[in-house]
Amino acid sequence: MGSLALNPSLPFCIFMRDKERLNNLFFTLITDRNHCKQPFIDTISLALKGGVKTVQLREKGLPTHELYSLACELRKITSDFKANFIVNDRVDIALAVEADGVHLGWQSLPFPVVRRLVGSERLIGVSTHNRQEALQARNYGADYITFGPVFDTPSKTGLLKPTGVEEIQKLKKEIHIPIVALGGINERNVEAVLDGGADGIAVISSIMQADDPEDAAKCLFNKIVTLKCPKILT
């Protein structure tokens, strides 16, 4: 996304966004149609029924018209559950379906361009994998970051070294926007992630590959609300 000098007013932009949208980041599902045990739309619906509060549509390689059609369906479903709907990378799709936000990677459009396009009301998240990227995303004015992979995960095998929970603890001292941890998070290790300072979690395989997506989501949801009051901003 290139370099951008820190604008002193950017950290305050976070308060312009809907607080409920930020709070809903505490439990995010990132989609992957190639790893569903159940039909894709059914999996998303069941996950939302089980407690997922944000769905990020991340379906690489789909033709634009198919991605748009899928986004329309998910926008309706997430609205029915009063959950966030965020589109990965594709600003055009996010705007076309009136998504709650867009999530950027380091090959996406430059952050200032995206903010100009989506306006001040929609969320912009940024994927980060280390301290330098996290600080840069903060300086851009990101509303939140994802950080990881925290643990080994099939989607990143051989690509990125796990950060571990300790890196989240360090980041919390420098970053005051929501940190959503991802990568290999499941019911067995979510406690360590939240105790380490993460404001929320994002999962893929824990739900997408589950035999019962609703039950898988419900187990994680119950863990989260037991361990941490789901209020990213107070």
The CATH number of the domain holding residue 75 is 3.20.20.70
Among 6-20, 164-178, 200-214, which is the least confidently predicted range? Answer: 6-20
Residue 1 pLDDT = 56
**pLDDT mean over 162-170:** 95
pLDDT-derived band at 158, boundaries 50, 70, 90 = low
Q: Is 58 annotated as catalytic?
A: yes
The residues near 97 (Cβ < 8 Å, ≥ 6 apart) are 68, 71, 72, 75, 85, 87
232 domain residue, yes or no: no
Among 11-25, 65-79, 107-121, which is the least confidently predicted range? Answer: 11-25
150 domain residue, yes or no: yes
234 domain residue, yes or no: no
State the catalytic residue, choosing from 21, 53, 122, 127: 127
Residue 112 pLDDT = 96
From residue 223, give the alpha-carbon distance in Å to each of 52, 200, 217.
12, 12, 10
Structure tokens at 143: 């509303």
State the chain's mean pLDDT as an integer.
90
Residue 234 pLDDT = 44
Q: H/E/C letters for each residue in 178-222?
A: CEEEECCCCCCCHHHHHHCCCCEEEECHHHHCCCCHHHHHHHHHH
2 domain residue, yes or no: no
d(CA 198, CA 228): 10
Domain containing 84 equals: 10-227
From residue 155, give the alpha-carbon distance in Å to each of 31, 34, 135, 175, 213.
12, 11, 24, 26, 19
Long-range contacts of 94-100 (CB under 8 A, 24+ apart): 94/118, 94/122, 96/68, 96/71, 97/68, 97/71, 97/72, 99/71, 99/75, 100/21
- The answer, yes or no, to whether residue 57 has pLDDT greater than 50, is yes
Q: Is 156 annotated as catalytic?
A: yes
State the catalytic residue, choosing from 21, 58, 90, 228: 58
State the catalytic residue, choosing from 131, 155, 156, 218: 156
pTM over 0.85: yes
154 domain residue, yes or no: yes
d(CA 99, CA 87): 7
What is the total count of domains within the chain?
1
Structure tokens at 9: 């007013």
233 domain residue, yes or no: no
200 domain residue, yes or no: yes
Residue 171 pLDDT = 96
- Cα-based angle 140, 147, 119 (whole degrees, multiple of 5): 35
59 domain residue, yes or no: yes
